[in-house]
Amino acid sequence: MIVMHVDVNSAFLSWTSVEALRRGGTIDYRTVPAVIGGDEASRHGIVLAKSGPAKRYGISTAETLVEARRKCPGLIVLSPDHGLYSRCSDAMYEILCDYTDRIQRFSVDECFLDMTRSPKAQADPVKTAYEIQDSIYGELGFTVNVGVSNCKILAKMGSDLEKPDKVHTLFPHEIAAKMWPLPVGDLFMVGKSSRAKLESLGIHTIGDLANADRDFIKSMLKSHGELIWNYANGIDPEPVTPNDETARKGVGNSITIDHDVTDRGEAHRFLLALSEKVAGRLRAKGRRGSVITVSIKSADFRNYSHQRAIDGFTDSTDEIYAAAVSLFDECWNGEPVRLLGVSAGGLDNDGQEQLSMFGAQERETAGRADSVVDEIRKRFGRDAIMRASFVEGRSRGSDEKEEGR
């Protein structure tokens, strides 16, 4: 099997820069200290993407713009344009379709490609990866990294090895030399809480994790421990799944709203309602999700989405809602909203307890509350109990749609 992971370098900033140059601008923002920043007038003024020169000042994604400007007083801050990002993402996808029909859009700036049926890739996968890279740059003007391997996790880790504008292989025989020396926090699906737990056990590199006893790691981190142990060893049986198939495997809800939503708080209330329904359906199925996606349709019918792999698996309303709010706040640029969707993918069905961004006590309390709500609604109907925020800001007649039945 040949799998590639295509990842746009500093996507939001690259796309903004290419568009500015196309319109006659004289500054390539990729070559100067520049960032894409959220709303500075609110607490959501954070760095969404950064240039290489900005990174050299120590500026990091998700830090506040105030902190970023303190590090670099001459920093250029550019506003996000999610309509542009969607168009650039779609244009890249069209190019990738020339190489394979097995494409999984993992996020707006990342795609997995199953190249197994491509004779060209079978003959020389690295040459084909460079060809893809050159096609995207030649036609669209931005650079990508391409990881090449035999499975998704290694292709993704490969594309992250060195940036920008690189092609990297990471086949099983290269894991020990290329991946194992990296910090354990660099492994996909190892978030802050997992990293802290692993480091407390003396596991500091991906190699440390790979060479640890699998049963011990699983006993300490439950099903998530087994997953990341497998990833550290390059084990990933998940196929590249085109997104229409992925949607059927996940659980999601969307709502079409009969008025323009322009208030962040109102949008959050819709996200809470959707998160509660997604979590309830997960619990009913005995499943948990590890990838949360928020979808938005604006009043002028532009669609875009944002997704994130969380730290572990969850069926908790509070955890799904927290991720959904964070994703929405990162990608919403203030335009009127007419549709919102929340979905959970990357499902796990082994019935083991999920890891969480919350502590054990909060997790237990939230789990009990979710179970009580499920039971009351099962006996008396969905409207028998609702959160206070729903009562305060209950929506006017809107249409809902369930996904992933």
pLDDT tens-digit series, residues 248-288: 678 888 888 878 899 999 999 999 999 999 998 888 888 89
Number of domains, the chain = 4
pLDDT tens-digit series, residues 383-393: 444 454 444 44
Q: Flag whether 238 is in a domain.
A: no
Mean pLDDT score of the chain: 85
pLDDT tens-digit series, residues 186-201: 999 898 889 999 999 9
Residues near 259 by beta carbon (within 8 Å), at least 6 away in sequence: 396
In a shared domain, residues 279 and 386: yes
In a shared domain, residues 120 and 204: no
Of 211 and 64, which is predicted with more confidence? 211
In a shared domain, residues 383 and 284: yes
How distant is the alpha carbon of residue 115 from its chain centre? Answer: 23
In a shared domain, residues 247 and 338: yes
| 112 vs 92: CA distance, rounded Å | 12
Query: Among 80, 104, 120, where does a domain finish?
Result: 80
Q: Can you give the CATH number for the domain in which 342 is found?
A: 3.30.1490.100
In a shared domain, residues 55 and 187: no
**Residue 252, strand partner residues:** 343, 403
Residue 321 has pLDDT above 50, yes or no: yes
pLDDT of 354: 42
Q: Flag whether 289 is in a domain.
A: yes
Q: Can you give the CATH number for the domain in which 107 is found?
A: 3.30.70.270
Q: Pick the catalytic residue from 67, 94, 110, 403.
A: 110
pLDDT of 404: 60
pLDDT of 242: 87
Token output for 73: 């007083």
Instruction: Enumerate long-range contacts of 363-370, CB under 8 Å, 24 or more apart.
Output: 363/316, 366/316, 366/317, 366/318, 366/319, 367/316, 370/279, 370/280, 370/283, 370/315, 370/316, 370/317
Domain with 347 in it: 243-403
pLDDT tens-digit series, residues 40-57: 665 557 898 999 999 999
Lowest mean pLDDT among 26-35, 154-163, 242-251, 384-393: 384-393
In a shared domain, residues 69 and 90: no
Assess whether 110 carries a catalytic annotation: yes
In a shared domain, residues 281 and 377: yes
Q: Confirm whether pTM is higher than 0.85.
A: no
- Pairing label, strands 34-37, 76-78: parallel
In a shared domain, residues 111 and 170: yes
pLDDT of 63: 87
The conformation of residue 97, written as its DSSP 8-state character, comes to T
Instruction: Write down the residue that tokens 């335009």 correspond to.
Output: 335
In a shared domain, residues 114 and 159: yes
In a shared domain, residues 20 and 142: no
Residues near 25 by beta carbon (within 8 Å), at least 6 away in sequence: none
Q: Distances in Å between the alpha carbon of 311 and those of 1, 187, 224, 291, 297? A: 28, 11, 8, 9, 27
